[in-house]
Amino acid sequence: MNRLDSHLAAALARIDAAGQRRTLRPAALAPHGRVLREGRELTDFSSNDYLGLARHPLLIERAREWTAAHGTGSGASRLVTGTSEAHLALEARIAAFKGTEAALIFASGWQANAAVIPALLAAMPGAAVFTDRLIHASMHAGIAMAGVRQHRFRHNDLDHLETLLAEKGKDAPARLILTESVFSMDGDRADMRRLAALAEAHHAALFVDEAHATGVLGPEGRGLSAEVPGAIDLIMGTFSKALGGFGAYIAGSRVLIDYLVNAASGFIFTTAPPPGVLGAIDAALDLVPGMEAERAHLAALGTRLRTGLAALGLDHGASSTQIVPAVIGAEADAMALSARLEDAGFLASAIRPPTVPPGTSRLRIALRAGHAEADIDALLAAIGAAL
């Protein structure tokens, strides 16, 4: 037995006692909004492959081509020999897609947030930091690493943010606002125009996480930041959801990107993404701007699902996107409902604390462009029967 095991076993026992033990179960994405798990094909309402690009032939072929041409690894971190011409060209494409001067690729969304936030705050000594209460855990981790206190405003309550900016930010040498454009567990949107106006009025920098909006929302799938071009100081997004690949980006000014190259430890000390990953991203950027039909289909599916959940008496919060929660409440009840749905042929994962606040355990229903209206109706019928 490892010398750690007695401590870890005790910690696992506490997790078990709280009903929060998690385990890994293998699965594989399949076409038409399906997933394969343990020999069964399930209708998949848990994956973030919103546009169905993870198995798209063009992404597969481009990843194969770039691997054949450049190999399976990048060889080093970006500041050593890991920067290729393909990296630089792809970052220029991302910047053009997001309407910014420059962009920088990271290995994951978690890495980007956790590395970039402390780097930013190191350049803003004494800054007052304002965060939506429901920002992603990676953003909280970045703030914690910076050792900076956050002033949390009530979720999407920009009147509360305005009050905090006036009270807590007035005498600070700098101010930083952090939010998501689409919230990953609730599927609701931040008001980009008002956030931009508040940032301008209070001379605050605005950091927006677009992980769940990139590819799905905004003109040509460019995210909700495209509603306020030039008004957001730093945009983070991922390639691992609607774009069907892996990795993340930071987009903003040339000065911002040059600074992060020199100050973001998670970038400096990480091996560069391999050519195959870059090839898939490149192919996704070819496809996403022209996928208006898929985006419209996702929006219609979301409306149909929310209407059906309301008819069943289930709270779906303020969702207005491809992410639709069905809030159940107690952890055990959410887990039991998810299990009954899996028995019926539907994968709709239960989300529980600490990912969501206590008492708000839910099914997090994620829609994919491969779903049909009949899939939504079948899911609603299965939920009704399980309830």
If you search the block for the tokens 């309402």, which residue do you land on? 45
Helix or strand or coil: residue 153? strand
Structure-block tokens of residue 171: 């005498």
Calpha distance 374→343 (Å, rounded)? 19
Cis-peptide, bond into residue 354, ω within 30° of zero: yes
- Confirm if 176 and 205 have CB atoms less than 8 A apart: yes
Nearest alpha carbon to residue 116 among 265, 271, 272, 273: 265
Nearest alpha carbon to residue 234 among 64, 134, 344, 106: 106
Backbone φ and ψ for 103, nearest 5 degrees, come out as: -150, 160
Sheet strands (E) in 215-343: 234-238, 248-252, 323-329
- Confirm if 247 and 53 have CB atoms less than 8 A apart: no
The torsion defined by the Cα of 365, 366, 367 and 369, in degrees rounded to 10, comes to: -160
96-108 burial: b if 16+ Cβ within 10 Å, else e: ebbbbebbbbbbb
In which order are the strands placed within the sheet that holds 350-351?
A: 323-329, 361-366, 350-351
Measured CA angle at 151 (ends 142, 145), to 5 deg: 20
The torsion defined by the Cα of 169, 170, 173 and 176, in degrees rounded to 10, comes to: 30
Backbone φ and ψ for 199, nearest 5 degrees, come out as: -60, -40
Catalytic positions: 48, 136, 180, 184, 209, 212, 241
If you search the block for the tokens 């007035």, which residue do you land on? 170
DSSP string, 233-245: SEEEEESSSTTSS
